[in-house]
């Protein structure tokens, strides 16, 4: 089917800052190419607003290649919009129909305060990572790549966990605002590799403690995080996180 142009209506969350009440503003966009990405459509909207002497909408973006996870938008009730295994920048307007009304919101989570409009502060995920998501590093020359043989199945599972880009979709879609899928992925990819064994005992304890400290909720066990994850990170990594945490407590 060939690409065409569509007319849409937008309900966009506008908020001047974390202490502002915020509101939805309505916009109409005409002749939007269905081949355009969602962020390109947002660019067109901002160009229209600037042309009218109005303040453009603030939203996060960087690579626009599905790598960085910065393009965090809640679109029509779904993190990253009505498509599977994509970030917002990979979502295209062909997923919408002519005359559709599209509701666009920021991530809704206590640990992600709104900076402005659709931008949220996701630094809390970095703080969790800093709490224990690292390995000990010895200075000197790098070891040979094959000095620590790793079974192919284990290496692939570790890669699957490491695919997490920390976008926060799991938090935004969880009714409890939990970061368990993020923490599970970060803990698992290190726990599976020999390099990660040194801090294994403390890693799960420290990262979960930091998650609780920062105001993230507990796991809802609904699997919504796995459904909306743009990299299809499995909730099986939450189970591994729980095992790592249990073993660490037993050792204590």
- Rounded Cα–Cα distance for residues 159 and 162 (Å): 5
Phi, psi dihedrals of residue 243, rounded to the nearest 5°: -65, -45
- Rounded Cα–Cα distance for residues 232 and 185 (Å): 11
Give, in order, the Cα–Cα distances in Å from 164 to each of 117, 137, 170, 237. 25, 22, 10, 11
- Rounded Cα–Cα distance for residues 241 and 220 (Å): 15
Domains detected in the chain: 5-115 (3.10.20.30), 122-138+146-251 (1.10.1060.10)
| Tens-place pLDDT, residues 90-144 | 999 999 999 999 999 999 999 999 999 999 999 999 999 999 999 887 767 777 7
Alpha helix segments (H runs only) across 163-217: 169-173, 180-191, 200-213
Does this model's pTM top 0.95? no
| Tens-place pLDDT, residues 50-80 | 999 999 999 999 999 999 999 999 999 999 9
Backbone region of residue 140 per phi and psi (left: phi > 0; alpha: psi in -120 to 50; beta: other values): left
């Amino acid at each position: 089917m060939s690409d065409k142009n569509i007319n849409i209506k937008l309900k966009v969350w506008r908020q001047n800052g974390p202490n502002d009440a915020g509101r939805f503003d309505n916009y109409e966009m005409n002749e939007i190419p269905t081949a355009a990405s969602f962020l390109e459509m947002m660019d067109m909207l901002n160009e229209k607003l600037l042309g009218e002497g109005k303040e453009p909408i603030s939203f996060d973006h960087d690579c626009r290649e599905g790598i960085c996870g910065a393009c965090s938008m809640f679109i029509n009730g779904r993190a990253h919009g009505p498509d599977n295994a994509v970030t917002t920048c990979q979502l295209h307007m062909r997923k919408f129909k002519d005359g559709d009304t599209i509701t666009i919101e920021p991530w809704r989570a206590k640990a992600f305060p709104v900076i402005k409009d659709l931008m949220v502060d996701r630094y809390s995920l970095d703080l969790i990572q800093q709490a224990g998501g690292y390995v000990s590093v010895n200075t000197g020359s790098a070891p040979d790549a094959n000095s620590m043989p790793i079974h192919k199945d284990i290496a692939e599972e570790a890669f699957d966990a490491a695919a997490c880009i920390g976008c926060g979709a799991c938090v935004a879609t969880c009714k409890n605002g939990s970061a368990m899928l993020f923490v599970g992925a970060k803990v698992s990819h290190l726990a599976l590799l020999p390099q990660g064994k040194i801090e294994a005992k403390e890693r799960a304890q420290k990262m979960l403690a930091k998650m609780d400290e920062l105001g993230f909720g507990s796991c809802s066990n609904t699997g919504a995080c796995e459904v909306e994850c743009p990299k299809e990170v499995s909730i099986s990594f939450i189970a591994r996180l729980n095992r790592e945490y249990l073993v660490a407590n037993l050792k204590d």
